[in-house]
């Protein structure tokens, strides 16, 4: 069974540009989560999508947005990039809602903002 | 405000020793406490999890100890092995919120 996949592996942008990160969940999983892993800060919850809708959002500005497609894959968009947006962005998927649904993580996209 | 505080930031243990990582939380509404293991270049993977209705959960060499009154929980790795060298994250969440609060991580290095 294929795991969660993310693309691209690495992304280099300059300040003010836009970045688009993509995630494909495990087959059968309907929930997708996005996390930001900045150095020394652990994982910060960004967004949760389930069945195509945004269900919850972390404490991030509106320039962080995303969507979930009918095939349950997801896209994270970061507009007006700032230097502090440089981080590893992790996507996770689960079978659906509910705490007992384990979240499976992808390998992440390393975003560098110059 | 960090919802989950994790310590130490890094840990060096000899092979065969016990590794102990501690976490503390503030929100008493949290009712699910997982631990994740992350190897370089990989995403975190669920290692073991506990709910506050039990004080301890053991799976192989990994044990979670939970102290509800102190709002603390810890991961113990018995007979630590070089293959356990990774970064460990504790987390906390509330039922049906699907929003996890992670600790800042502990980089464990097990020396052969």
pLDDT at A23: 98
Given a cut of 80, is residue B101 above it in pLDDT? Answer: yes
* Segment A11-26 mean pLDDT: 97
Q: A45 and B44: CB-CB below 8 Å?
A: no
β-pairing, B62-67 vs B56-59, is: antiparallel
Q: Is the pLDDT of residue A87 over 80?
A: yes
- Strands A104-105 and A43-50 turn out to be unpaired
Give the pLDDT band (50/70/90) at residue A97.
low
The rounded percent of chain B whose pLDDT value lies above 70 is 96
Task: Note whether A31 contacts B31, CB cutoff 8 Å.
Answer: no
In chain A, which residues have their Cβ closer than 8 Å to the Cβ of B32? 99
Best to test chain A binding among B98, B104, B106 (most A CBs inside 10 Å)? B98
Please indicate whether, in this complex, the C-beta atoms of A45 and B45 are within 8 angstroms of each other.
no
A·B CB contacts under 8 A? 65
Q: Taking CB atoms and an 8 Å limit, are B94 and A43 in contact across chains?
A: no
B83 secondary structure, DSSP code: G
Q: What pairing do the DSSP bridges indicate for beta strands B106-111 and B10-14?
A: parallel
Tell me: pLDDT of A100 over 80. no
Nearest to A105 among B41, B44, B99 (CB): B44
pLDDT band at A112 (very low <50, low <70, confident <90, very high): very high
Contact call for A43 and B102, based on CB within 8 A: yes
Q: What is the mean pLDDT of residues B47-58?
A: 91
Residue B95 has pLDDT above 80, yes or no: no
Which residues on chain A are in Cβ contact (under 8 Å) with B89?
Answer: 42-43
- Grouping H, G, I as helix, E, B as strand and the rest as coil, residue B84 is helix
The stretch B76-90 carries a mean pLDDT of: 97
- pLDDT grade, residue A105 (50/70/90)? very high
Chain A closest-CA separation from residue B89 CA (Å):
7
Quote the pLDDT of residue A29.
Answer: 92
- Is residue A67 pLDDT above 70, yes or no? yes
List the 83-102 stretch of B: residues with Cβ below 8 A of A: 89, 91, 93-102
User: Does residue B39 carry a pLDDT above 60?
Assistant: yes
Give, in order, the Cα–Cα distances in Å from A27 to each of A4, A7, A24, A72, B97.
9, 17, 9, 9, 23
Chain B residues close to A90, C-beta within 8 Å: 43-44
Q: Grade residue A99 by pLDDT with cuts at 50, 70 and 90.
A: low
Section B8-22 average pLDDT:
97
pLDDT value for B96: 63
Put simply, the answer to whether A98 touches B98 (Cβ < 8 Å) is yes
Q: How confident is the model at residue A95 (pLDDT cuts 50, 70, 90)?
A: confident
How high does pLDDT run on average in chain A?
92
Count Cβ atoms below 10 Å from residue A90 Cβ, excluding itself.
Answer: 26
Cβ(B101)–Cβ(B89) under 8 Å? Answer: no
């Amino acid at each position: 069974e294929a795991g969660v996949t993310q693309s691209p592996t690495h992304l280099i942008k300059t300040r003010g540009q836009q970045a688009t990160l993509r995630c494909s969940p495990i087959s059968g999983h309907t929930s997708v989560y996005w996390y930001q892993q900045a150095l020394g800060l652990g994982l910060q919850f960004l967004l949760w999508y389930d069945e195509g809708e945004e269900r919850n959002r972390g404490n991030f500005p509106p320039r962080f947005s995303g969507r979930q497609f009918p095939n349950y894959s997801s896209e994270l968009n970061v507009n007006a990039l700032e230097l502090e947006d440089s981080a590893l962005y992790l996507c996770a998927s689960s079978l659906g809602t509910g705490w007992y649904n384990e979240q499976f993580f992808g390998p992440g996209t390393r975003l560098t903002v110059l | 405000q960090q919802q989950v505080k994790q310590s130490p930031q890094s840990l060096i243990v000899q092979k065969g020793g016990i590794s102990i990582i501690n976490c503390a939380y503030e929100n008493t509404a949290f009712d699910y406490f997982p631990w994740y293991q992350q190897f370089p270049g990989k995403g975190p993977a669920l290692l073991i999890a506990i709910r506050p209705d039990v004080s301890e959960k053991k799976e192989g060499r990994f044990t979670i100890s939970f102290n509800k009154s102190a709002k603390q929980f810890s991961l113990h790795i018995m007979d630590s092995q070089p293959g356990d060298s990774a970064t460990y994250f504790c987390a906390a969440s509330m039922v049906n919120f699907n929003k996890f609060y992670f600790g800042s991580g502990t980089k464990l290095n097990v020396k052969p």
